[in-house]
Amino acid sequence: MTPNPPPHPGVRFPPPFVYAAGILVGWLLDRRWPWRITAHPSWWQPVAVAALIAFAFVIAASAMTLFWRARTSLIPNRPASAFVASGPYRFTRNPMYLSMTALYLGVALALNSWWPMVLLPIVLLIIQRAVIAREERYLRQRFPDEYPAYCQRVRRWL
């Protein structure tokens, strides 16, 4: 731990709002200019939706459980009291954002609209720049020995 790390990462808004805004804007665009993924219902669509949503909930629940056990905050504008590197954090540095991305894709597929898919890169860019970059900067200062080593062995997304 460094002598004077910042009090928290400085994320100014709840990250799920960015994902929800992408879905909402995509839905509104689709109402005005429909852009369907499939013209007719297909057997694979509900299967893919269920798989994406199930994946999202399993990853999110696992990551949140680890944070609760470590007694550290899930909220990115609060200080981290522990460094978590087990469970899904062994494979991705951002399992919660990965789960929100999977949920986003599942909802977009359930809406049967390309608009949210087209907006996803913008959503991910905002998450990367306004959230992940701040969190990573904070974690490097808060855990100067553990976090850089962790970054070398675990990828940001997958």
DSSP for 37-51 reads S-SS--THHHHHHHH
Tell me what the mean pLDDT of segment 51-55 comes to: 98
Mean pLDDT, the chain, whole residue set: 93
SS3 of residue 35 by DSSP: coil
| Rounded CA separation 134/132 (Å) | 5
Report residue 3's pLDDT band, with 50, 70 and 90 as the boundaries: low
Tell me what the mean pLDDT of segment 10-28 comes to: 95
Long-range contacts of 1-5 (CB under 8 A, 24+ apart): 1/142, 1/143, 1/144, 2/141, 2/142, 2/144, 5/138, 5/141, 5/142
Among 155, 148, 153, 61, which Cα is nearest to 102's? 61
- Write down the pLDDT at residue 129: 95
- The string of pLDDT tens digits covering residues 83-111 is 999 999 999 999 999 999 999 999 999 99
Could you tell me the sign of the dihedral formed by the alpha carbons of 144, 150, 152, 156, in that order?
Answer: negative
| Rounded CA separation 121/64 (Å) | 25
Q: Which residues of 60-73 are buried (b: 16+ CB within 10 A; e: fewer)?
A: bebbeebbeeeeee
Q: What is this structure's pTM?
A: 0.92
Q: Given a cut of 90, is residue 11 above it in pLDDT?
A: no
Residue 58 zone, left/alpha/beta (φ > 0; ψ -120 to 50; rest): alpha
- The string of pLDDT tens digits covering residues 39-49 is 887 889 999 99
Report residue 121's pLDDT band, with 50, 70 and 90 as the boundaries: very high
Q: Given a cut of 80, is residue 15 above it in pLDDT?
A: yes
Q: Given a cut of 70, is residue 5 above it in pLDDT?
A: no
Tell me what the mean pLDDT of segment 117-130 comes to: 97
- The string of pLDDT tens digits covering residues 144-154 is 999 999 999 99
- Write down the pLDDT at residue 17: 97
Domain boundaries, the chain: 15-32+44-153
